[in-house]
Each structure stands twice: as C-alpha cells, then as structure tokens.
Amino acid sequence: MLDADGNSQIVDIGVNAEFHGSTISGVSGCNSYNADYEATGNEISIGPIAGTKKICPHDEQDVEDRYLQLLAGAATFEVEGRSMSMNDAQGTPVLQFSQG
C-alpha cells in the first residue's frame, strides 16, 4: 500500500481479497467487506464496497480506510505467478496480493 505521501509502506493487519465470479470479498483489517467487480483484459473496476462497521483501534481504522480507498481506485491489475498487483488510473502500483 502507499501512504498519504505516496510512499510505499508494508502493512500486515490481516488484509485479504478473494475473487469469486464477479464478487470480491475479504477482511480489510478488523472488518469484512464485499463488492462487485468487473475485469476486462487487465482493467478492473471495483465497487461500491460494503462492509461491516466494527469499532477498530484508531491506527487500524486509518489503514483499513486507506486500503478500501486504494481498492476502490484500482484501475488495472497484473497477475504473475501467485501474486497480483493493482495500479491506480495513473499506473502507480497501489496494492500487492500474494497467495499463501
């Protein structure tokens, strides 16, 4: 993920994404989320995103909010082996997922 200044940061708060048909779901920190998505070629559109509303520690909530913002803003993706990266509309890498 990228921080507010656009710098890469490693975050390990239990974030995940599972793609099933035209739906993405997962855990965004301390809440669960789901959304419809559409993918054509390497382009992707996600949203709107719905989620549970548990009260999270402030720092986790900040990261969770940023993760969901980046996920909703993903415009392209690339799968390489067991990893998937997502880029925003400007082509900037914003998210990286690895299959465990």
Question: pLDDT tens digits for 6-23?
Answer: 455 545 557 889 999 999
Q: Which domains does the chain have, with CATH numbers?
A: 18-75 (2.40.128.270)
C-alpha distances (whole Å) from 41 to each of 4, 44, 45, 48 are: 29, 8, 11, 21
User: What pTM did the predictor assign?
Assistant: 0.83
pLDDT digits (tens, 9 = 90+) for 42-82: 999 999 999 999 988 888 888 899 999 999 999 999 999 99
Contact 32, 51 (CB under 8 A): yes
